[in-house]
Amino acid sequence: YPDGSRGFFAAAQGAPRLQWLHTFNAGIDAPVFGRIMANGTRITTSSGSTAVPIAQTLVTALLMLARGFPEWLQSQRRREWEPRSGPPPPDLASQTLTVVGLGAIGTEIARLGQALGLHVVGVRRTPVTGAEPIDEFITPDALDTVLPRTDWLALAAPLTLATEHMIDDRRLTLLPPTACLLNVGRGSLVDESALIRSLSSGRLAGAYLDVFEEEPLPPDSPLWNFPNVIITPHNSSVSAGNEARTWDYFIQNFEAWIHGQPLRNEVQPG
């Protein structure tokens, strides 16, 4: 966190009478939040306020990879007129998008995927309601069964003990060599060393990465060098409307808190 945020969190930890804290963050995997909650402070998040821009950014990257924009952009920088050679890319309507995590972000990714004609598989622990924009539903323990037919693997899950390095050498090998990985969840959902090995060997067709195990991504990381990898600096959520949406969440929760009603996006201990 920036210096100002560190000072704020230090003050929050030292305020035992603090009853409620609302954060701009969607995720709270940083240990400081657990320490604040240990004082009896209730915490709510802004989860969902950035779902639309994050999903739009991921789908933009998906389309760039699907249509070969990385190659075209390299040709443009070389000032070379280089039409596509080799077999044409497949239609998206013949492909499968597997979305791991069906919270607000994952659900919006799924909705946009269906709009593009993709067959969407949704993955999460809790049952679906039937209203989700997906064509199939599986729980995480069945993920291995769909990876061999997954063309686009989108990660939008939180980081927990169960999800850390859930995408490792074994699961990357289960994907077809034409598949691409798209991660807007948490960097540690993916074993980064395994990902680098898959990209180096050609076992993976490409990737879009907004999050990394170490941030900022070190200048000497091999990930910078792959022409088929699109990197954004944990910025997929940036949008002019985020602040207004976060204030809306806070005001709704403030009114609920005053009247003793349940709070939206309240974090449960443990």
Out of 197, 203, 234, 245, which one is annotated catalytic? 234
Q: What is the pLDDT of residues 97-122, one digit of tens each?
A: 999 999 999 999 999 999 999 999 99
Out of 22, 111, 186, 192, which one is annotated catalytic? 186
What angle separates helix 104-115 from helix 51-67, to the nearest 10 degrees?
40
Average pLDDT value for residue range 218-245? 98
Q: What is the pLDDT of residues 68-88, one digit of tens each?
A: 999 999 999 999 999 988 899
> 51-231, which class in CATH?
alpha beta
Q: What is the pLDDT of residues 129-155, one digit of tens each?
A: 999 999 999 999 999 999 999 999 999
CA–CA distance, 217 with 211 (Å, rounded to integer): 9
Q: What is the pLDDT of residues 157-192, one digit of tens each?
A: 999 999 999 999 999 999 999 999 999 999 999 999
Out of 136, 215, 243, 255, which one is annotated catalytic? 215
Parse the chain into domains and list their residue ranges.
3-49+240-258, 51-231
Q: What is the mean pLDDT of the chain?
A: 96
pLDDT at residue 3, as a whole number: 61
Average pLDDT value for residue range 247-270? 95
Pairing of strands 229-231, 206-209: parallel
pLDDT class of 269 with cuts at 50, 70, 90: confident
Per the annotation, the verdict on 215 as an active-site residue is yes
pLDDT at residue 141, as a whole number: 98
Per the annotation, the verdict on 186 as an active-site residue is yes
Q: What is the pLDDT of residues 8-51, one digit of tens each?
A: 999 999 999 999 999 998 878 788 999 999 999 999 999 999 99
SS3 assignment for the chain: CCHHHHHHHHHHHCCCCCCEEECCCCCCCCHHHHHHHCCCCEEECCCCCCHHHHHHHHHHHHHHHHHCHHHHHHHHHCCCCCCCCCCCCCCHHHCEEEEECCCHHHHHHHHHHHHCCCEEEEECCCCCCCCCCCCEEECHHHHHHHHHHCCEEEECCCCCCCCCCCECHHHHHHCCCCCEEEECCCHHHECHHHHHHHHHHCCCCEEEECCCCCCCCCCCCHHHHCCCEEECCCCCCCCCCHHHHHHHHHHHHHHHHHCCCCCCCECCCC
Give the global pTM: 0.92
Per the annotation, the verdict on 119 as an active-site residue is no
pLDDT class of 126 with cuts at 50, 70, 90: very high
According to DSSP, the residues that pair with 167 across neighbouring strands are: 190
Q: How far is CA 47 from CA 26, 44, 112, in A?
A: 4, 9, 19
Asked if 20 and 257 count as a contact pair (C-beta separation under 8 A), the reply is: yes
